[in-house]
């Protein structure tokens, strides 16, 4: 029984070890903080947001975001500050501008290109189907003629 209690105590400590408690002067800042750390990318980890990363720079950035929120900075000001320090890479959803238009426009271009290919393929397929029917009819006539000749020869 003591072993089971010790086991449960050890694992409960591991579960709560990863939870970072952030204190705010105003509880309304907590939801903004959570949104920001979800939307911003860890500069070191690259494929993790600040909330999921345990790298030292992510911890520093989470403290920095907390400090800026306490200083009553807006989300846009915080993002602009971090973007000026770490480039647009820190944003999971980069803004649409002259540098990112291809990133945002490429899915639309791919879909339009696919629709164009399908439309062209269908236009080309219709004459082939009609031509195929004509060929089948002419082949059938030749087959009938050959079979008719064989019947006459027998």
| Residue that terminates a domain, selected from 78, 95, 112 | 95
What residue numbers bound the domain in which 79 lies? 19-95
Task: Tell me the pLDDT tens digit for each residue of 80-132.
Answer: 999 999 888 888 777 777 777 777 788 888 999 899 988 887 777 666 556 66
Same domain, 110 and 74: no
Question: Is 133 part of a structural domain of the chain?
Answer: yes
71 with 28, same domain?
A: yes
Residue that wins the pLDDT comparison between 5 and 60: 60
**pLDDT of 46 over the 80 cut:** no
Domain boundary among 95, 123, 140: 95
Q: Which of 72, 95, 118 is the last residue of a domain?
A: 95
- Name which of 71, 53, 62 is nearest 33 in CA terms: 62
Q: Which pLDDT tens digit goes with each residue over 52-62?
A: 888 899 899 99
23 and 88 together in one domain: yes
**Whether 138 and 89 share a structural domain:** no
CA dist., res. 36 & res. 80, Å (int): 12
Q: Are residues 26 and 91 in the same domain?
A: yes
**pTM (whole model) above 0.95:** no
Compute the mean pLDDT over every residue in the chain, rounded to the nearest whole number.
77
Q: What residues are paired with 91 via a beta bridge?
A: 40
- Same-domain check for residues 66 and 124: no
- Is the pLDDT at 6 greater than 60, yes or no? no
φ, ψ of residue 106 to 5 degrees: the values are -60, -40
Q: Is residue 2 part of a domain?
A: no
Which residues is 41 bridged to in the sheet? Answer: 49
Of 94, 90, 91, 92, the residue nearest 44 (C-alpha): 90
Number of structural domains the chain divides into: 2
Asked if residue 28 and residue 91 are part of one domain, the reply reads yes
| CATH classification at residue 23 | 1.10.8.640
Asked whether residue 39 is assigned to any structural domain, the reply reads: yes
């Amino acid at each position: 029984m003591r072993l089971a209690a010790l086991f449960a105590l050890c694992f409960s400590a591991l579960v709560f070890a990863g939870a970072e408690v952030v204190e705010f002067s105003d509880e309304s800042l907590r939801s903004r903080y959570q949104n920001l750390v979800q939307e911003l990318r860890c500069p070191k980890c690259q494929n993790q947001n600040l909330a999921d990363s345990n790298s030292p720079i992510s911890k520093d950035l989470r403290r920095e975001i907390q400090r800026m929120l306490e200083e009553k900075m807006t989300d846009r000001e915080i993002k602009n500050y971090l973007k000026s320090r770490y480039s647009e890479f820190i944003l999971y959803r980069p803004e649409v501008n002259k540098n990112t238009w291809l990133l945002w426009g490429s899915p639309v271009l791919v879909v339009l290109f696919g629709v164009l290919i399908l439309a062209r393929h269908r236009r080309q397929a219709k004459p082939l189907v009609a031509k195929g029917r004509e060929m089948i009819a002419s082949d059938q006539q030749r087959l009938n003629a050959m079979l008719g000749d064989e019947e006459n020869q027998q």
